[in-house]
Amino acid sequence: MDVYGLIGNPVGHSLSPPMHEAGYEALGLDARYVTFEPAPDDAARAVRGAAALGVAGLNVTIPFKRDVPEAVETDPLAERIGAVNTVTFPDDGDPRGYNTDAAGVIRALERHGVDLDGADAVVVGAGGAGRAAAFALADADATVHVANRTVERATELAEAVPGATGGRLDGLDERVPTADVLVNATSVGMEADATPVPADLLHADLTVLDAVYSPVETRLLRDAAAMGATTVDGAWMLLYQGVAAFERWTGTDAPVDAMNAALRERLE
């Protein structure tokens, strides 16, 4: 049996186990997906321990995404983003770290028919999800503007992303009305019925991806739908980052529909 897992702290709320195990069941794979909760400063030891125990692959979540790169051979995209959320344990070398959050953004948008080549994209938030989104969109040939409450973080990220610009949240009124894609990469909308983007800036030619997946229908997405925009909920991004990890671990096309059904069932 192959054992895959997730390290995080806390990790009990994770929806990854049912999503991945639905994938294993659909393909008839002899595999399990389990969770581990190391102490906050034990990321490197957790990766080494997983390797010693023969774990076949790991996902990584808060607060370890920025610490795990020290314990693995990081691929170029994960190195640019500065965060690892997927680890493999090859037979011929050190553990290798990847970032599939970027793939989650792109595949979620592609699922909804969004053409990113030449698109004008606005990313709200400069944390881990914002970094993944900004690099992913730029690599897909979109022009990226990063808006963040702390303008220094937006500027720092924009300087690292080819062709990107950065600014304050209060500058969204100059960016969103002409944008093709808007990504909310903050947690606004998770704990309260709030939105990081005023509704009157949204428009029918816009695609809005909200990285928040609980609730699935955030205020931002409700406002966007009311304006006729295309909406992409955060569960799609969660699904496709998991799909990318699944495929990297197993070398097999993931059963996306089965994994999506298991995820949506838990979110209802």
90 classed as catalytic:
no
At residue 268, the pLDDT reads 76
d(CA 104, CA 77): 13
At residue 175, the pLDDT reads 98
Superfamily of domain 2-99+236-267: Leucine Dehydrogenase, chain A, domain 1 (3.40.50.10860)
At residue 212, the pLDDT reads 96
Please give the biggest Cα pair distance in the chain. Answer: 55
pLDDT by residue, tens only, the chain of 268 residues: 999 999 999 998 899 999 999 999 999 999 999 999 999 999 999 999 999 999 999 999 989 998 998 899 999 999 999 999 999 999 888 999 999 999 999 999 999 999 999 999 999 999 999 999 999 999 999 999 999 999 999 999 999 999 999 999 999 999 999 999 999 999 999 999 999 999 999 999 999 999 999 999 999 999 999 999 999 999 999 999 999 999 999 999 999 999 999 999 999 7
Class of domain 102-232: alpha beta
Q: What is the pTM of this model?
A: 0.95
The answer to whether the beta carbons of residues 134 and 146 sit under 8 Å apart is: yes
d(CA 25, CA 43): 29
Domain ranges of the chain: 2-99+236-267, 102-232
Helix axes 101-111, 234-250, angle to 10 degrees: 120
Out of 65, 107, 131, 145, pick the active-site residue.
65
At residue 82, the pLDDT reads 94
Torsion angle (degrees, nearest 10) of CA 237, 239, 241, 242: 160
In terms of residues, how long is the chain? 268
At residue 24, the pLDDT reads 98
- Please report which helix (H) or strand (E) contains residue 2, including its range: strand 2-7
At residue 93, the pLDDT reads 86
Per DSSP, the residues of 165-186 read EEEEGGGHHHHGGG-SEEEE-S
